[in-house]
Structure 1
Amino acid sequence: MSHSNSEESPVFRRGGVVKADEDRQQVFDAFRRWGYYEANLDPLDVFPPLQQPDLEGLGGEAAEEARRIYCGTIGADFMHLPEPERRRWIIERLEAPAEQVDQQKILERLIRADLFEQVLQARYLGSKRFSLEGVTSLIPLLDAILDAAAEHGAESSIMAMSHRGRLSVMVHAACKSPHEVVAGFEDVDPRSVLGAGDVKYHIGATGTYVTSSGKEIGIHLVSNPSHLEAVDPVAVGRSRAKQTRYGLRGAYVDRSQETLNKVVPIVMHGDAAFAGQGIWAETLNFADLRAYTVGGTIHIIVNNLIGFTTPPHQEHSARFASDIVKRQSVPIFHVNGEDPDAVVRVGKMATEYRATFGSDVVVDLIGYRRHGHSEVDDPTITQPRLYERIKDHPQLWKIYAENTGIDATGIAENVRKEYEEEQTKARALKKIPHLRKLPDYWAPYFHGRYKPEYEVNTGLAREKLGEITDGLVRVPEGFHVHPKIVKLLEQRAEMGHGQRAVDYGFAEALAFGSLLLEGTPVRLTGQDSQRGTFNQRHAVLVDTETERNYLPLCHLSPNQVFCEIYNSSLSEAGCLGFEYGFSRDYPEALVLWEAQFGDFANGAQVIIDQFISAGEDKWNLPAGIVMLLPHGYEGQGPEHSSARLERFLQLAAEDNMQICQPSTAAQYFHLLRRQALRPWRKPLIAFTPKSMLRHPDASSNIEEFTHPRFLPLVPDREVRDASRVLIASGKVGHELRGERRRRKDTGTAIFFLDQLYPMPRAEISAAIAEHPHAREIVWVQEEPGNMGAAGFVLPRLERMAKAAGLVSRSVKRSPSASPATGSAKAHEMEQKTLLSLAFTTAGNHDN
């Protein structure tokens, strides 16, 4: 990488001694670029400095001074930054005299961090706690970050971390009372746990941190699973939502750095996970993207130079776990965890850098792990020499007390006594305390089990639909619209005024527009979502001459709320995790993530399994995220046919989510409005069409948008007193109705099951009862028998059929390892066979 600033150009000298009177700038440039390789970063010396040939022959006063700055206990890796002003900023602070730190406070915090762990070890021997010992300087590092953040206007911090040191961070950063945290080790009443609960080192916490200057910062430690790094995008998405609250200006959101500084995301990583997991890299990529930026995330690698039993040379190819960060303009500060003064200085500098430039920054805090991966592990089996050295290594607070000359005896005695008393309090508790509470903006919303009183009317008057339509098709004067879009806008004007059937794309726009005018913000992101994968949305118009963007949904009324529709990065896990996090802290908004094709959600399975389906049950944390998953068998092959209904239905229990496949444009309209307007907040998994997006059978008359509500089951109004009832969901239902017309069949009723979960049993039973002469109920799906909704729907449908005295059967593709055939002709043959079998007699076996 070349730099235009000649004052910072590096030198590449090999051999020979550079005399003291030679170019001081060139000497310093060499150390600025390479010095971190030779820095003294490892307290145990198992990760020794790596000698650099470019520094080998440098001598004299300038080299000595540069070596002291760049090869001490701080290794600054920043010369890859392309911005000269950022490099200059770092250089000025590193080369200035070191600021004084509060060593008395640092010592006390180190004592607290260490003795907290020791008391737990003594009282709960054999229990897993994932001790912080070996990197206890994380606590003064967080102190430094929070102190500096507050001086730059921070009022809140979203923190994310895995299990290592989590209990200590709960006490010392989230400021929970030790006995509340320790209660997780006690055998208290299990009925006091809401839902299924989770282990103590996954639970989140909220609290208030008071800085050295007396300022308060709300701390939100995000609940997380054992799937390392999966929480990263969730934390950043939550930060974005909270920043949006601070920046809200009606239809406009102020995202100045001053506003973004009010909420500081701090994400703590393990070194092995940071090097090995991809989702943090997806999250890092969000840093400068308009759809996701949070003004910088502070990343801390809690680096104990081991991953369970795996040494560094087996877990990452680069010298440092952090090296992959250098693909972006993000500085990295490696620091020896046993130089607490340096740790505190780095924490302050990293925070000020983030506040100044709105950039991510990485602090690589290098220490060791005093015990095994958990306290029940014996690490001497796999690292005998290392743990022989650790056994004789004193605690950091003792080293620091000796180095500073501060008598720590009295402090240690008082802290130990305090923690032992807290443990006694924990033992007396009858219920496990709740370490977190939902913010006040969740007060109007419900979660838990569904109740009928949560229902609301979602229909709109024709006049209101016409007003919204006029705003959606209006473009500013002088804006050059593509000829194809001109025609589209003309057609949409006809749709909204009842002169043409409304398709899915415009039904969605009407839903969004109506919600924005009623006070519900809308945020939609996804791959190519501004236009839509299937050319159906066109939410953002592009000027054909200037490429300026125009989003009509943002210009409906001066009094509307904000709307954000963005193309996402090419990521699933990171992007879905971000939107889930956003929905967690903005329940008033309709927050949607769209997959380009439904099966791409496979890449986000951890987010779906651990957060969306189980987050409320484990952590009592509701969310209203909407997943839009294009689904349907149209001969496009195994990869673009199925959104894997079966996986979501397998996860469905205890009213944890809603799983729907709206059969018409109007149903889609009502479904979106229901999700936003009901006070019941649950994730919505919406399987959306592809070929049916503009199909006449799936389009709707404008009058259907005035109907009161979404119908979980759409009965058949064309056939009365049928002898056979077919029940289907999605595209195949329209194909069945087409086959019925072809056959001139008047004895078969076809129902659309638009809500698969919670399954509308009462509505199904009532619809069946309207056909008293029906002999059979047939479930029809286009997916293979081992996929789709069959495994979920059939047992329930069979019970209902039996209760009504009817025969039940099913029609579906044969079980298959692959979701669909790759041959378009084979697909057509299979589809014809499937439709034909649906109209056979009840005597046939299931297909």
Structure 2
Amino acid sequence: MTWFRAGSRVAKLAIRRTPSTSGSYEARRLLPSQNRHFHTTLCKSKAPVPCPVPLSRITDSFLDGTSSVYLEGLQRAWEADPNSVDESWDNFFRNFLGHQASTSPGVSGQTIQESMRLLLLVRAYQVNGHMKAKLDPLGLEERAIPDDLDPGLYGFSEADLDREFFLGVWRMAGFLSENRPVQTLRSILTRLEQAYCGTIGYEYMHIADRNRCNWLRDKIETPTPMQYNNKRRKVILDRLIWSTQFENFLATKWTATKRFGLEGGETLIPGMKEMFDRAADLGVESIVIGMSHRGRLNVLGNVVRKPMRQIFSEFSGGTKPVEEVGGLYTGTGDVKYHLGTSYDRPTRGGKRIHLSLLANPSHLEAVDPVVVGKTEQYCSSDADRTKNMAVLIHGDGSFAGQGVVFETLHLSALPNYTTGGTNIVVNNQVAFTTDPMSGRSSQYCTDVAKALSAPIFHVNADDMEAVVHVCELAAEWRQTFHSDVVVDLVCYRRFGHNELDEPSFTQPKMYKVIRNHPSALTIYQNKLLESGQVTKEDIERIQNKVNSILNEEFLASKDYVPQKRDWLSSHWSGFKSPEQISRILNTGVKPEILKSVGKAHIPPRNF
């Protein structure tokens, strides 16, 4: 409502109400020679005291009353002759209605009331547009569209759609910036729908900082929708094929084994890769990742680059590691979907970034404070938090339901704890077996993040390019403001909680839809084929390449013998294992010392 208050102040500076003999108020212009001080403590002469009026009888307001009538009269006079009004009003109308207002027949009919109502309509989309966004890939969610997104509520009709309007407001960005051209109401509404009611739902109007909101408006309310070029789309397609075929390969080779697959949320992998690439371009050198078991194997293999043959070897029972020279610390022996690793990964922009995925037990969010602590340790030599970044991947049920999430989030702005975190919620809309309406009281599982004034980007996981866009935007926000941001990846779980469960027992309607729902890869392939940017031969070539590599790694896994510690890579070179340390250090004590210590502990006879 900043623009409303600004408009009110302008009106108050130019209008002075004086009580007439009849008790009504009369609006008149102030002449330059008149006193412009409105506070009685500053006035030299005693101001007249208006007669008290009961609140029930006050119907005059800035938008509807004598002030509005007076302003519209001034506007009509200004449109006929800008020199007929005071210079301050001339500046006001030029800024408010645009420089083209006096010459454009469409804008010339724009009244003050219509301008204010149009600003309210734009603000309604910024606040509640996400309620109309198409976020559920299954189309099962039924949400009431807020009334304030209806142009008719603001007095606009079909006849107004082709009228031109100017929206510029001082110190605002996006649709409301002063440098936006005059547009028809139809084009304004179309772009608002594209920006706020497509497959991305933005929540940021709870943020009190104007500069941060303006930054987001400039990113969201672009003159035209975001588009990727042909080369970029082929990279995204390649990454999505890797994510999808990895899960399919595991399902084919180990049909009766738990793996907590990512089917239904495969777009997480390309999204993470694009986020990390963008973060590296903006100066990040190291990322610490924490996540639960859902999709961990896919993240290990495709994002953090744990050798595929090692993952496949663990599925087959693995082999006992042989000792390296000097000993080997073999690790925990935990299940494969709890393990971590680290790797120096090349990025799309030609840089290298160190990735560290921490091991995590079955307690879904237990790793959150560990990730924050490890990242903060790295930040001891990175005061601006520009080189080290934490990424936490949550489930929808645990993000809303586990206290450790909220506790960790509230460390985010404390001295010596802040890391500028990034959160991704893999929202399969069912958590374990519970409908969202039965699992929480809030509209979204991410509402807990509003306490931190963190922006929240809800995205339909079936829209691959929308996922990439919000992941890149999250990286840009984090590097610009060094504060938390949340990506809510609204997807589904194609199979049960694990692959041995039958989900239709608890979610029969949902899984009836899921059985007939195409994968994100199928949807994206069809989109690119229809646009003519890729051919069937291009897709088959990528698929054959991926299948060939997976089969080669599978064959190599049969003879795989781990020769080094699994999750210790370049950053840990030179560190010695416990076995090595115990062999190097001499922990023995001379017998004379032990005897003297023993004698010292013998109490006196009469003690």
TM-score using structure 1 length: 0.50
Q: What is residue 24 of structure 1 aligned with on the other side?
A: 118
1:288-310 per-residue CA deviation (whole Å, 9 max, x = no partner) reads: 1112112x111000111112222
Give the direction of change, closer, same or farther, for the CA distance of 1:455–1:88 in structure 2 (3 Å limit). farther
1:335, CA displacement in angstroms? 0.5
Residue among 411, 414, 437 paired with 1:289: 414
Q: What is residue 249 of structure 2 aligned with on the other side?
A: 119
Q: What is residue 481 of structure 2 aligned with on the other side?
A: 357
1:444-466 per-residue CA deviation (whole Å, 9 max, x = no partner) reads: 6664698597589xxxxxxxxxx
SS at match of 1:401: helix
**1:82 equivalent in alignment to 2:218:** no
SS at match of 1:300: strand
Give the direction of change, closer, same or farther, for the CA distance of 1:329–1:3 in structure 2 (3 Å limit). farther
Alpha-carbon distance between aligned partners in 1 of 2:578 and 2:4, rounded to the nearest angstrom:
57
1:413, CA displacement in angstroms? 2.6
CA contact (8 A) 2:262 2:298 kept: yes
Matches within 5 A, 1:182-197: 182-190=312-320, 194-197=330-333
Matches within 5 A, 1:149-160: 149-160=279-290
Alpha-carbon distance between aligned partners in 1 of 2:455 and 2:517, rounded to the nearest angstrom:
31
SS at match of 1:429: coil
Alpha-carbon distance between aligned partners in 1 of 2:241 and 2:506, rounded to the nearest angstrom:
30
**1:198 equivalent in alignment to 2:334:** yes
SS at match of 1:229: coil
Give RMSD over aligned pairs: 3.1
Alpha-carbon distance between aligned partners in 2 of 1:67 and 1:123, rounded to the nearest angstrom:
45
Alpha-carbon distance between aligned partners in 2 of 1:446 and 1:105, rounded to the nearest angstrom:
40
Q: Which amino acid aligns with 2:315?
A: F
Q: What is residue 41 of structure 2 aligned with on the other side?
A: none
1:208, CA displacement in angstroms? 2.3
CA contact (8 A) 1:69 1:95 kept: yes
Q: What is residue 179 of structure 2 aligned with on the other side?
A: none
Residue among 378, 383, 394 paired with 1:269: 394
1:327, CA displacement in angstroms? 1.1
Alpha-carbon distance between aligned partners in 2 of 1:241 and 1:368, rounded to the nearest angstrom:
36
Alpha-carbon distance between aligned partners in 2 of 1:417 and 1:411, rounded to the nearest angstrom:
10
Alpha-carbon distance between aligned partners in 2 of 1:339 and 1:373, rounded to the nearest angstrom:
23
Q: What is residue 42 of structure 1 aligned with on the other side?
A: 136
Alpha-carbon distance between aligned partners in 1 of 2:397 and 2:569, rounded to the nearest angstrom:
32
Alpha-carbon distance between aligned partners in 2 of 1:445 and 1:188, rounded to the nearest angstrom:
24
Q: Which amino acid aligns with 2:437?
A: H
CA contact (8 A) 2:199 2:463 kept: yes
Q: What is residue 349 of structure 2 aligned with on the other side?
A: 213
Residue among 361, 364, 373 paired with 1:237: 373
Matches within 5 A, 1:159-170: 159-170=289-300
Alpha-carbon distance between aligned partners in 1 of 2:301 and 2:435, rounded to the nearest angstrom:
30
SS at match of 1:79: coil
Q: What is residue 227 of structure 1 aligned with on the other side?
A: 363
Give the direction of change, closer, same or farther, for the CA distance of 1:273–1:136 in structure 2 (3 Å limit). same
SS at match of 2:483: coil
CA contact (8 A) 2:375 2:390 kept: yes
1:759-810 per-residue CA deviation (whole Å, 9 max, x = no partner) reads: xxx97996378538879xxxxxxxxxxxxxxxxxxxxxxxxxxxxxxxxxxx
CA contact (8 A) 2:319 2:560 kept: no
Q: Mind listing any 5+ residue stretches in structure 1 that lack a counterpart?
A: 248-254, 457-708, 710-761, 776-838, 840-847
Residue among 200, 213, 220 paired with 1:94: 220
The structure with higher relative contact order (CA 8 Å, sep 6+) is 2
Q: What is residue 577 of structure 1 aligned with on the other side?
A: none
Q: What is residue 459 of structure 1 aligned with on the other side?
A: none
CA contact (8 A) 1:137 1:338 kept: yes
SS at match of 1:372: coil
The structure in which a higher percent of residues are helix is 2
1:215, CA displacement in angstroms? 1.0
CA contact (8 A) 2:194 2:225 kept: no
CA contact (8 A) 1:270 1:301 kept: yes
1:18-57 per-residue CA deviation (whole Å, 9 max, x = no partner) reads: 9997743322111000111111001001224441122234
Alpha-carbon distance between aligned partners in 1 of 2:142 and 2:378, rounded to the nearest angstrom:
42
Alpha-carbon distance between aligned partners in 1 of 2:475 and 2:209, rounded to the nearest angstrom:
18
1:124, CA displacement in angstroms? 0.6
Give the direction of change, closer, same or farther, for the CA distance of 1:53–1:288 in structure 2 (3 Å limit). same
Residue among 266, 274, 290 paired with 1:144: 274
Alpha-carbon distance between aligned partners in 1 of 2:454 and 2:389, rounded to the nearest angstrom:
16
Q: What is residue 313 of structure 1 aligned with on the other side?
A: 437
Alpha-carbon distance between aligned partners in 2 of 1:176 and 1:128, rounded to the nearest angstrom:
19
CA contact (8 A) 2:133 2:196 kept: yes
1:620-647 per-residue CA deviation (whole Å, 9 max, x = no partner) reads: xxxxxxxxxxxxxxxxxxxxxxxxxxxx
1:442, CA displacement in angstroms? 7.4
CA contact (8 A) 1:39 1:49 kept: no
Give the direction of change, closer, same or farther, for the CA distance of 1:768–1:442 in structure 2 (3 Å limit). farther
SS at match of 2:354: strand
Residue among 536, 558, 567 paired with 1:427: 558
Q: Which amino acid aligns with 2:548?
A: K
Residue among 532, 538, 541 paired with 1:410: 541
Q: Which amino acid aligns with 2:304?
A: A
Q: What is residue 332 of structure 1 aligned with on the other side?
A: 456
Q: Which amino acid aligns with 2:120?
A: Q
Q: Which amino acid aligns with 1:422?
A: E
Q: Which amino acid aligns with 1:428?
A: D
> How much identity, in percent, do the aligned residues show?
35
Q: Which amino acid aligns with 2:602?
A: H
1:67, CA displacement in angstroms? 2.0
TM-score using structure 2 length: 0.69
SS at match of 1:321: coil
Matches within 5 A, 1:567-586: none
Residue among 59, 65, 71 paired with 2:197: 71
Q: Which amino acid aligns with 2:466?
A: A
CA contact (8 A) 1:337 1:343 kept: yes
Q: Which amino acid aligns with 1:354?
A: R
Q: How many residues align?
A: 452
CA contact (8 A) 2:341 2:566 kept: yes
Q: What is residue 522 of structure 2 aligned with on the other side?
A: 398
Give the direction of change, closer, same or farther, for the CA distance of 1:63–1:455 in structure 2 (3 Å limit). farther
Q: Mind listing any 5+ residue stretches in structure 2 that lack a counterpart?
A: 9-62, 64-111, 162-185, 323-328
1:225, CA displacement in angstroms? 0.9
Instruction: Single out whichever of 145-154 and 405-414 deviates more from structure 2.
Output: 405-414
CA contact (8 A) 2:195 2:225 kept: no
Alpha-carbon distance between aligned partners in 1 of 2:604 and 2:570, rounded to the nearest angstrom:
54
Give the direction of change, closer, same or farther, for the CA distance of 1:127–1:19 in structure 2 (3 Å limit). farther
Alpha-carbon distance between aligned partners in 2 of 1:774 and 1:42, rounded to the nearest angstrom:
83
Q: What is residue 174 of structure 1 aligned with on the other side?
A: 304
Give the direction of change, closer, same or farther, for the CA distance of 1:5–1:85 in structure 2 (3 Å limit). farther
